[in-house]
Amino acid sequence: MKTVAALAKHTFKDSLRKKTPLVIFFLALVLLGCLQFLPAITPDDRLKLVQVVSSKAATFFAIVVAIFLAASSIPVDIEDKTIYSVLTKPVSRLAYILGKTVGLILVTGTILLLMSLISYGVVRLVALQAAPKGLAEPLMAKIPLYASSLIHQAEGEGAAQVPPGEMAGLSGSGKMEAQWQWEGIKISDFPAEEIALQGRFLVLGRVTGGTMKFVAINPTSGQKEEALAKLKPYENFTVSFPASILAPAGALKVVASAEEPEIYFGVTLRDLFLLKKPGSFTINFLKSVVLIFLQLLVIVPIAVVGSSFLSAPVSVTFSFFIYFCSNIVELMRALAHSLTEPGTGVFGASIIGHVHGPVEIPEQTLVVKIINTILKYFIYAISYILPDFSKFAPANFLADKIDIPLRAILLLLAYALLYAASLLTVSFFIFRRREVGK
């Protein structure tokens, strides 16, 4: 343990003295400086942009530093033969790997922290500029309360529960309704005068969007409140109700229906939520930094695995490739899923164009089917082995001013630690039998 600490401290010191982190740190500085001049239509949009860009830039730079340092760490030690004077001392190979990893996570974590401090300053500054232009609370963290169930009802059909993640359609012509139900509401969690609902639905039919009617019902008191909202595609909307609707506390229903016949809305359980009293922006920002740090917790061990058997350039490439794939896990699964569908997949896709009338999609032949099936499960397997980095991305939370739930952070922490532990085990077993004297 002491050995690991000594090695970690040493790795930290050595990495900082090599100045590589500083170069990228300055690059980040320049970029964040440029942010000041980004054009944006409204002050709010500008603030959003600054937050998204700085969060993504910080992630990117931290990851790049992490990959370069970690992926080259062991090969460089072997190349420089500095490893001779370490492994001939009472340092087990496991301690060596752990020391390196911990040290590198600390280095990249420190760099991330410095970049985040700059980001924070820039965001505060932009917010200050935005405030006089009529933006009441430019920086905050909205805390959403999601409904426990969503029920869809169309005239002539029965009511049906919409499972989480699935979408139900609401069209103005079909007399359809969607009903979100909340339970266990505490009045003290909400603002005193007004409560707000925020959401974003799929809007089809007209580019300028359409109107939706919301009716809030307290099932205990029977109180009903109505509100209309103009919904535009890809944009958040909010509707407000008097806070009295919450009393007596406990349950709340919100029924939504489309007002115009030509508009179609797609809704899911988590597309609409109640807004609790807002939380602190600073804490939310810190949480976003923690999320990025969790990415480092996974990417450093990935690069260390690479570096335990590859040369430095190959290992860097390998790590970037894995990182790239880990960001498109969902896409990989979608691709894998489509592989065995008729008309798609390797060798199976045929050009269908300039044909009028019904098109016949050719079935895949047996050989093609086998190849595609193997490929399908291969991609599936990889997509499940890889960590899903899109889960760790905080930029959207910041942009939408939504509080990052603590539960999610803890879950991701557990997930990251599990990954790191298994990766380091793999790394140890590879490195254990590696000849380090060239």
Partner 1 sequence: MQTDFAVETKDLTKVYVDFWGRPKVRAIDRLNLSINRGEIFGLLGPNGSGKTTTIKLLLGLIFPTAGEAVVLGHPPGDVATNSRIGFLPEESYLYRFLNAEETLDFYGQIFHIPRRERKRRVADLIETVGLSFARKRPLKEYSKGMSRRIGLAQALINDPDLILLDEPTVGLDPIGSREIKDLILELKKQGKTILLSSHLLADVEDVCDRIAILDKGHLQVVGEVDDLLSLKDTLEIRVRRISPELRDKIEALLRENDAELVSTEHPSRTLEDLFLKTIEETKSEDRSSPG
In the complex, minimum distance from the CB of residue 63 to partner 1, in angstroms, rounded to a whole number: 24
Complex with partner 1: residue 2 or 354, whichever CB lies closer: 2
For residues 13 and 175, which CB has a smaller minimum distance to partner 1 in the complex?
A: 13
17 or 407: whose CB is closer to partner 1? 17
Shortest Å, Cβ 88 to partner 1: 4
How far, in Å, CA of 50 to CA of 44, rounded?
10
Minimum separation from the CB atom of position 376 to partner 1 (A): 33
In the complex, what is the shortest distance from the CB of residue 435 to partner 1, in angstroms, rounded to a whole number?
A: 4
What's the number of CA atoms in the CB half-sphere (13 Å) around residue 244?
Answer: 6
Binding mask 419-438 for partner 1 (x = CB under 8 A): --------------x-xxx-
- Cβ closest to partner 1, residue 107 vs residue 272: 107
Binding mask 347-376 for partner 1 (x = CB under 8 A): ------------------------------
- Minimum distance from residue 2 beta carbon to partner 1 (Å): 6
- Asked if 181 contacts 147 with a C-beta cutoff of 8 angstroms, the reply is yes
Complex with partner 1: residue 75 or 138, whichever CB lies closer: 75
List, edge to edge, every strand of the sheet that includes 252-258.
Answer: 159-161, 149-154, 176-182, 252-258, 210-217, 224-231
Cα–Cα distance for residue pair 318/309, rounded to 1 Å: 11
- Per-residue contact string for residues 293-322; x = within reach of partner 1 by CB under 8 A: ------------------------------
- Two tokens, residue 215: 């009716």
CB-based contact 65:72 (threshold 8 Å): no
Q: How far is the CB of 18 from partner 1 (least distance, A)?
A: 6
Asked if 170 and 177 count as a contact pair (C-beta separation under 8 A), the reply is yes
The stretch among 5-13, 101-109, 335-343, 359-367 that binds partner 1 (CB under 8 A) is: 5-13
Number of residues this chain uses to bind partner 1 (CB under 8 A): 26
> Which residue has 């000594």 as its token pair?
6
Question: Which residues within the stretch 10-49 sit at the binding site for partner 1 (CB under 8 A)?
Answer: 10, 13-14, 17-18
- State how far Cα 431 lies from the chain centre: 33
Q: Is there a contact between 186 and 212 (Cβ–Cβ < 8 Å)?
A: no
CB distance 145 to 189 below 8 Å: yes
Dist CA 363 CA 368 (whole Å): 10
Tell me how far, at minimum, the Cβ of 19 lies from partner 1, in Å.
9
| CB closer to partner 1 out of 26 and 84 | 84
Q: What is the DSSP string of 246-303?
A: GPSSS-EEEEEEESSTT-EEEE-GGGEEEE-S-B-HHHHHHHHHHHHHHHHHHHHHHH
Identity of the residue, 15 or 54, whose beta carbon is nearer to partner 1 in the bound complex: 15
10 vs 124 by CB, closer to partner 1: 10
Residues 61-100: x where in contact with partner 1 by CB under 8 A, - otherwise, as a string? -------------------xxx-xxxxxxxxx--------
Q: How far is the CB of 61 from partner 1 (least distance, A)?
A: 22
DSSP code per residue over 100-163: HHHHHHHHHHHHHHHHHHHHHHHHHHHHHHHGGGT-S-SS-BB-EEE-SEEEEEETTS-EEEPP
Distance separating alpha carbons of residues 258 and 177, to the nearest angstrom: 8
Residues at the site binding partner 1, with contacts judged by CB under 8 A: 2-3, 6-7, 9-10, 13-14, 17-18, 80-82, 84-92, 433, 435-437
